[in-house]
Chains A and B, each alone.
Chain A
Amino acid sequence: MTTNEIINPANLVHKKTDLLTDVPMHYCPGCSHGVVHKLLAEVIDEMGIQEETIGVAPVGCAVFAYNYIDIDWQQAAHGRAPAVATGIKRLLPERYVFTYQGDGDLAAIGTAETIHACNRGENIMIIFINNGIYGMTGGQMAPTTLEGMKTSTSPYGRNVELNGYPLNITKLLAELEGTCYVTRQSVHNVAGVRRAKKAIQKGFENSELKKGTSVIEIVSTCNSGWKLSPAASNDWMVKNMFPAYPLGDLKNV
């Protein structure tokens, strides 16, 4: 059988979901954001909840998330996504509301909003992209930047005496009574992508069951910020990020 014969709708195994728009994503080649967007779109599509889902985009590289997933969106001020999501969810309690935030947004400028939304047990899902760097502004140090890791504002490596320690915010959020599901995933290989997708689906299901806040951290790469190729970034992440931010469920109530 020739390749052309195999390429037939009857033999289709995998294709882009229609919920992911045809607008090409602005992310750098190999960026983890694209994979996570795709998973979100696939889960929303498979659960049939497109009409009931409202996303909250952050400030950061994912600010344009609203261009890529075909649902209603609000774009929040830097760090304020959990407060915006609270406003939406409280007035539309039957909707699925999620925020999509980077490490600077969630763990630096928006720490208060994040902790309090989780502590109130808002029935929302927080997608947390942790790549240890400020991508959009050009690779500055983030709260989750590893000790010794070089960024444009820690050009000699993060010095804990000067900058403090990498903030394991997810661990902290798992301690709060209001969170029902706190997990750390990655999307660097097929198994990781599959697990991350299951986690996102569980986050939406928890919202429906009104169990509290679901936090899904995706340990991610920023190959432009890290100044590595996409494939080398994955290897670097496995070697350096995973020991500091180990994968798996931190809480599953």
Chain B
Amino acid sequence: MAKIKGAVVVDTERCKGCDLCVVACPSDVLALSKELNAKGYNFSYMENPDACIGCAACAYVCPDACITVYKVKLQD
């Protein structure tokens, strides 16, 4: 069975830490960092990267267009 695996890259300097991607993620991949970016925001990052399915829900709802999404199909 093919397994889908994804990954996201957050433009951490553009991110304002609004948390909408964290809420939108169906796989609980994302979280807000403890660190701050230059503007003082807790940016979003993959806390649980193995769970990412590359669905791009986070990117769709991101108001600042700071999420890039990648996806691969893996054969078992």
Write the residues of chain A forming the contact surface with B, with a CB cutoff of 8 angstroms.
Answer: 1, 3, 6-8, 11-17, 20, 24-25, 27-35, 38, 187-190, 193-194, 229-231, 234
Contact = CB atoms under 8 A, between A and B. Distances in A.
17 contacts: A3-B7, A3-B49, A3-B52, A7-B7, A13-B56, A14-B59, A15-B59, A15-B68, A25-B63, A29-B17, A34-B62, A34-B64, A187-B61, A189-B24, A190-B61, A231-B19, A231-B20
A8 B70 contact: yes
Given A6-B70, A14-B68, A27 B63 contact: yes
Given A1-B74, A29-B18, A190-B57, A15 B69 contact: yes
B70 A190 contact: no
A194 B65 CA distance: 15
Contacts of B57: 190
Given A24-B14, A231-B19, A189 B61 contact: yes
Nearest to A8: B70
A15 to B, nearest CB: 4
A1 B72 CA distance: 9
Given A1-B5, A13-B56, A29-B18, 14 more contacts: A3-B7, A6-B7, A11-B70, A11-B72, A12-B70, A14-B69, A15-B59, A15-B69, A16-B68, A24-B64, A31-B63, A35-B62, A38-B63, A190-B57
B57 to A, nearest CB: 5
A38 B58 CA distance: 14
Majority-rule SS of B interface residues: mixed
A230 B17 CA distance: 10
B65 A7 contact: no
Interface residues of B, number: 36
Given A12-B68, A13-B70, A234 B20 contact: yes
A30 B56 contact: no
Contact of B63 (A3, A17, A30, A189): A30
Contacts of B59: 14-15
Given A12-B70, A29-B16, A6 B65 contact: no
Given A29-B18, A30-B63, A14 B41 contact: no
B61 A193 contact: yes
Contacts of A194: 60
Interface in B1-15: 5-7, 9, 11, 13-14
Interface in B42-64: 46, 49, 52, 54, 56-57, 59-64
A16 B66 contact: yes
Contacts of B54: 6, 11, 13
A6 B63 contact: no
Nearest to A223: B18
B12 to A, nearest CB: 12
